[in-house]
Amino acid sequence: MRVYVLLKSDYVKAGDRDPATKTFNTKSADIFASTDLREWFDEHVRVPLLRDVEEFQDRDSGWTLLNVLNLTLHINKYNPIRASSYVSLPAKILRQCCINVKTRDQECFKWAVLSALFPVANHPHRVTKYEDKVSEPFDGVNVVNFDASAANLQVREEKCYHLRKRVHVRAY
């Protein structure tokens, strides 16, 4: 799911009786089943809201918090298909030695397999590191047929077991 928070509060200026309502909101951030909610809350809600409130009070000095009117949590359906085939992954997944190739085409599976078969030391997330590997054989055999469209990508039958044994593919 994709979530953002809205904080609405009343402030008064020194010597003023009428409160002014100020609203602060966070950027939308994704929450996955593997997301640590305490870390997520600190990173995407607590720290940004405190920073924005402090900046407001520093910029327009003299404002004092009178009361918090509400804190609203907005939850939206997460639909990664709308963007492109590249989806940024949570830090927890990336820390587990996952290569997330940044691509704008619809052939993300192809780039994921190539990144596993032909590891590179520098900038493994770049498509350009694998473009010349598309037709390069792995262990002397062209294991994956990339002539098909991304939707019809097929692993050749005679090397299917070998590929499964050497490469683990997880889809998120």
Give the model confidence (pLDDT) of 129-147 as tens digits: 888 877 666 665 555 555 5
Give the model confidence (pLDDT) of 66-78 as tens digits: 999 999 999 998 7
pLDDT at 137: 63
Give the model confidence (pLDDT) of 78-101 as tens digits: 776 544 566 777 777 776 667 778
Choose between 8 and 162: higher pLDDT.
8
Question: What percent of the chain has a predicted confidence (pLDDT) above 70?
Answer: 72
3-state secondary structure the chain: CEEEEEEEEEEEECCCCCCEEEEEECCCEECCCCCCHHHHHHHHHHHHHHHHHHHHHHHCCCEEEEEEEEEEEEEECCCHHHCCCCCCCCHHHHCCCCCCCECCCCCHHHHHHHHHHCCCCCCCCEHHHCHHHCCCCECCECCEECCCCHHHCEECHHHHHHHHHHCCCCCC
